[in-house]
Amino acid sequence: MDFESKSYLYELKVLDYFMKTKKEAIALVLLCTFLTAAGQIFLKIGSGNLSFSILKLLGNLPLITGFALYFLGAVILVIALKHGELSVLYPIIATSFVWVSFLSIIFLNEVMNSWRWAGVITIIIGISLIGRGAS
Amino acid sequence: MATQLWAIAMVLFATIIGSFGALCFKMGSETISIDIKKLIKNHKLILGFLFYGISSIFFVISLSGGELSALYPVSAVSYVWVCLLSMKFLNEKMNKLKWLGIIIIIIGITFIGLGG
């Protein structure tokens, strides 16, 4: 066995060590949703002055930050997906709506109301059901 | 600002592309490593990022034609697409609890939209 494949196996073992159970995969998806939610807030701010000039797009810091957070969230999602069913882990991404609701209040001066609270609670119930339905 | 029809159609399109991105992510995740060279050769992973990126670009464009709160419920159909793709391509089993969970999540997202 050459050195490269040995180090490759070692890396896989390290990854497996950190994510032996599905619980850790779910925790990683939850982290991904928070990053995605923060990303969406930045994208919303950045979309306010959207233009089709490349230079202006590159200078649109909120937009760039939003995409960077999205990318980071995607990387974490991929690592999580290795350790669980897609049909279980993907719906958990809905947690981002819960984060977005709270972040919108803080950063976009939006107001929380009964509908939004109902939505947040309902989503959490739905995610719990999927967790219970996981094989 | 009223949400325009083209924005809703664009979000729907983004959910379809994004769902295939999720499928590619799952397929590509089976062989991930920290080795950059191997990551670049992981075509499914690259395709996943491509789909995911295109999906989010369409989502951003749609945001300029409607409110986040109105477009969210539309984007929730992606959970249905992903579960259907999981059944077809990954042989994952759906059960009543999982489908019920997805329906309840979609209702919850609609509530958030109504509250926006």
Cα angle at A5 between A4 and A9, to 5 degrees?
120
Using CB atoms within 10 A of its CB, is residue B54 exposed (0-12), middle (13-18) or buried (19+)? Answer: middle
Name the residue with tokens 């760039």.
Answer: A64
CB contact at 8 A, A40 and A68: no
Q: Which of B3, B56, B107, B114 has the most A C-beta neighbours within 10 Å, making it the best mutation to test the interface with A?
A: B56
Shortest CA distance from A101: residue in chain B: B112
Instruction: List the structure tokens of B20.
Output: 């295939």
CB-based contact B100 A94, cutoff 8 Å = no
The residue type at A59:
G
Nearest-neighbour CA in chain B from A124: distance (Å): 8
| DSSP at A44 | H
For residue range A55-91, list pLDDT tens digits in order.
777 788 998 999 899 889 988 999 999 999 999 999 9
Map out the domains of chain A as residue ranges: 22-133
CB contact at 8 A, A101 and B112: yes
A 10 A CB-CB count for A132 gives: 12
- Which residues of A fall within a CB distance of 8 Å from B43? none
The residue type at A119:
G
Instruction: List the structure tokens of B76.
Output: 């929730």
Write down the number of H helices and E strands in chain A.
7, 0
- Which residues of A fall within a CB distance of 8 Å from B27? none
Question: What pLDDT, on the 0 to 100 scale, is given for residue A8?
Answer: 56
Name the residue with tokens 């897609």.
Answer: A86
CB contact at 8 A, B66 and A70: no
Question: What pLDDT, on the 0 to 100 scale, is given for residue A18?
Answer: 45
Name the residue with tokens 């060590």.
Answer: A17
Among B17, B26, B24, B25, CA closest to B59: B17
Instruction: List the structure tokens of A19.
Output: 């994510």
Q: Identify which of B32, B33, B111 has the shortest CB distance to residue A122.
A: B111
Q: Which of A104, A130, A132, A135 has the most B C-beta neighbours within 10 Å, making it the best mutation to test the interface with B?
A: A130
CB contact at 8 A, B43 and B30: no
CA distances from A15 to A7, A8, B2 (A): 12, 11, 47
- Which residues of A fall within a CB distance of 8 Å from B112? 97, 101, 115-116, 119-120, 123
Per-residue pLDDT tens listing for chain B (116 residues): 677 889 999 999 999 999 999 999 999 998 877 777 877 788 999 999 899 889 988 988 898 888 777 788 888 899 999 999 999 999 999 999 999 999 999 999 889 878 76
Does pTM top 0.90 for this prediction?
A: no
CB-based contact B87 A121, cutoff 8 Å = no
CB contact at 8 A, A135 and B96: no
Per-residue pLDDT tens listing for chain A (135 residues): 455 555 555 555 555 544 444 788 999 999 999 999 999 889 888 887 777 777 777 788 998 999 899 889 988 999 999 999 999 999 999 998 899 888 988 888 888 889 989 999 999 999 999 988 886
What is d(CA A95, CA B91) in angstroms, rounded to the nearest whole number? 25
